[in-house]
Amino acid sequence: MDKIIPAHVGIIMDGNGRWAARRGLVRTQGHLEGLKASKRIVKAASDLGIKYLTLYAFSTENWKRTSEEVSFIMGLVKKYLKSEFEFSKKNKIRTRYAGDMAGLPPGIQKELKTSMAETAGFTGMQVILAINYGGRDEIVRAVNKFILASSADKQVLNEKDICAHLDNPDIPDPDLIIRTAGEYRTSNFLLWQGAYSEIYISDKMWPEWEKEDFEAAITAFQKRDRRYGGIKT
């Protein structure tokens, strides 16, 4: 069995609200603890030699929540971006973004752009923050980018055209997608790129996630038999 480290891992960080509710706390407290878990897992992934880590932090559907909860999450994102530079520098971690940035509050857009610019030269792991991200939205935006960029002689798209207009065309498809809090659905995460991703579902709530849980997911991935529709002899 080859102990291959996946190049790209995506995480649907779910269960912050339930974690809080079970302790008689407000949902926002769960998001605060969820942020701490994100920091632990970024470090764990970087130490393992993961090249790309996509963190699903806020979906295009999460705007349905109360304005208090949405503002709290946006505030946390901003705080995270502002405070992580030293950590990123030390660990050579580069910040990237996936989603529709134009739909984010201007303050967050500014911090995201600053963080991406300041870390652009870092050669370690790349952390892709998926905020106001939806897989369907990304595909629609990709098709529209294609239409805007294409000349009159090219009016039919193929898979390569779609890939080339996704949010981060240089990043390989995720090898592994992790979902915490025991839910068996994609909730609109990396629909195009996840076609052949291995899926790992954990019952633990995101705020409870430790380095060992991430390592267990990687070990489980290493036991998978990836066939991509073919046959392995």
Q: Which active-site residues does the annotation give?
A: 14, 62
Stretch that binds Mg ion, among 10-18, 21-29, 52-60, 130-138 (CB under 5 A): 10-18
The two beta strands, 8-12 and 94-98, are unpaired
Stretch that binds ligand IPE, among 16-24, 94-102, 170-178, 220-228 (CB under 6 A): 16-24
**Which CB, 31 or 165, lies closer to Mg ion?**
31
Using rule CB under 5 A, residue 69 touches Mg ion: no
Residue 143: how many other CB atoms lie within 10 Å: 14
CB-based contacts of 7, cutoff 8 Å, min separation 6: 50, 51, 52, 172, 175
Instruction: For the CB of residue 181, give the shortest distance to Mg ion in the complex, in Å.
Output: 6
Beta-bridged to residue 201, according to DSSP, are 179
Instruction: For the CB of residue 21, give the shortest distance to ligand IPE in the complex, in Å.
Output: 7
Question: Contact at 8 Å (CB) between 211 and 40?
Answer: yes
- Candidate residues 59, 132, 193, 197; the one interacting with ligand IPE per rule CB under 6 A: 59
Residue 162: how many other CB atoms lie within 10 Å: 17
Stretch that binds ligand IPE, among 52-60, 88-96, 103-111, 144-152 (CB under 6 A): 52-60
Using rule CB under 6 A, residue 18 touches ligand IPE: yes
- Candidate residues 29, 46, 54, 62; the one interacting with ligand IPE per rule CB under 6 A: 62
- Candidate residues 6, 9, 10, 14; the one interacting with ligand IPE per rule CB under 6 A: 14
Instruction: For the CB of residue 206, give the shortest distance to Mg ion in the complex, in Å.
Output: 9
Using rule CB under 5 A, residue 14 touches Mg ion: yes
Question: Contact at 8 Å (CB) between 104 and 131?
Answer: yes
Give contact residues for ligand IPE (rule: CB under 6 A). Answer: 12-18, 56-59, 62, 73, 181, 183, 185, 187
